Amino acid sequence: MKKLHINKAQVIGVIIAIVIIILSYIFLRVSSLFYFLVGIALVIAGLPFFVSLIIESSTSKEKDEMFLEFARNLVESVKAGTPISKSIINIRNKDYGALNPYINKLSNQISMGIPLQNALDTFARDVGSPTISRAVVIISESEKAGGEIEDILESVAMSVAQIEKLRKERRAAMYTLVVQGYIIFFIFIVIMIIMQYKILPIASGLGEGVTNNAGDAAGIDINMGGIMSGQKATPEELARPFLWLLVIQGFFAGLVIGKLSEGKIKDGLKHSFVLLVIAILIYTGANVFLGKP
């Protein structure tokens, strides 16, 4: 299990967000601007984590792509008659992007006399990619059992290539669903804003008229949901759950979008962050610029 690493940018972002929230609460807690500034603070706090997640995801994809190149070069070298251990040392100087430090470590371990199987296990554990781990296990077991290692390496390279091809096809096929997910969420935000500023004031006015007429005619108080007619809920009170609805909808919609497009819920956190930022800023911004309903 990977450890959570917190860098300086993330710590600074959280500190700035806390300061903004505290100052906003002290000076603007009775203003609609308070919630907008809280939204800005949450964006500042979450942005470094979002960027780190993007970089980590991009690096992971690059590792898988570069391992395919590494496997192909290894196949060519082994087919030429060079033992697999020597082949790894020979191709270490080629550029494999994000895999360079791991391949250098692997070749250094082999040069120091560490058994190939142990070195490959360390390589797979350090890289932390499920695709690479499966391929390394096959290579390691095949080398230990003997036989036509070059054919096995070629099969592994073809398998990794097929996996990468299927991933790209999946992302392309799911792109439309991702766009649809964002469009649906934007529509949901618009519906919430229309309800708050158009429907709730009208409904409140109608309810007040009905209550007053009933009270004048019968001389009694009407109790709905435990609230007396003299203490009826205002449009502002009725609209308070809307922001939480948007937050919950954005968070889980992002997870679903990530699962569909990338196959991992963790990748959905990127979409969740984007949707949450959009929801909070648009909704609280509407409260600031449009005023109370």
Smallest Cα–Cα separation from 243: which of 197, 288, 196, 200?
A: 196
What mean pLDDT, rounded, does the chain reach? 79
pLDDT at 207: 53
Q: Please say whether the beta carbons of 88 and 105 come within 8 A.
A: no
pLDDT at 205: 65
Is residue 213 pLDDT above 70, yes or no?
Answer: no
Please classify residue 70 by burial: count the beta carbons closer than 10 Å to its beta carbon, then call 0-12 exposed, 13-18 middle and 19+ buried. Answer: buried
pLDDT at 233: 61
Lowest-confidence segment of 11-25, 93-107, 163-177 by average pLDDT = 163-177
Q: Please say whether the beta carbons of 131 and 64 come within 8 A.
A: yes
- Joined together, the tokens standing for residue 127 give 């890289």
pLDDT at 133: 85
Domain count, the chain: 1
pLDDT band at 226 (very low <50, low <70, confident <90, very high): very low
- Joined together, the tokens standing for residue 48 give 């470094």
pLDDT at 1: 43
The residue range of the domain holding 81 is 62-165
In a domain, 178, yes or no: no
> Mean pLDDT across the stretch 208-229?
45
According to DSSP, the β-strands at 227-228 and 223-224 are antiparallel
pLDDT at 147: 60
In a domain, 210, yes or no: no
pLDDT at 41: 87
Is residue 229 pLDDT above 50, yes or no?
Answer: no
Is residue 258 pLDDT above 80, yes or no?
Answer: yes
In a domain, 7, yes or no: no
Cα separation, 258 vs 200, whole angstroms = 34
Cα separation, 144 vs 157, whole angstroms = 18
The CA distances from residue 97 to 59, 119, 274, in Å, are 9, 20, 28
Q: What backbone torsions phi and psi does residue 228 show, to the nearest 5 degrees?
A: -70, 160
In a domain, 124, yes or no: yes
Instruction: Tell me which of 222 and 81 has the higher pLDDT.
Output: 81
Lowest-confidence segment of 106-120, 145-159, 257-271 by average pLDDT = 145-159
Is residue 151 pLDDT above 80, yes or no?
Answer: no
Cβ neighbours around 258 below 10 Å, total: 22
> Mean pLDDT across the stretch 182-208?
81
In a domain, 279, yes or no: no
pLDDT band at 117 (very low <50, low <70, confident <90, very high): confident
Smallest Cα–Cα separation from 282: which of 252, 251, 243?
A: 243
In a domain, 118, yes or no: yes
In a domain, 94, yes or no: yes
Smallest Cα–Cα separation from 243: which of 50, 42, 49?
A: 42
In a domain, 128, yes or no: yes
pLDDT tens per residue across span 158-187 = 888 888 788 788 778 788 888 888 999 999
pLDDT band at 217 (very low <50, low <70, confident <90, very high): very low
Smallest Cα–Cα separation from 84: which of 50, 61, 107, 60?
A: 107
Rg (CA), the chain: 29
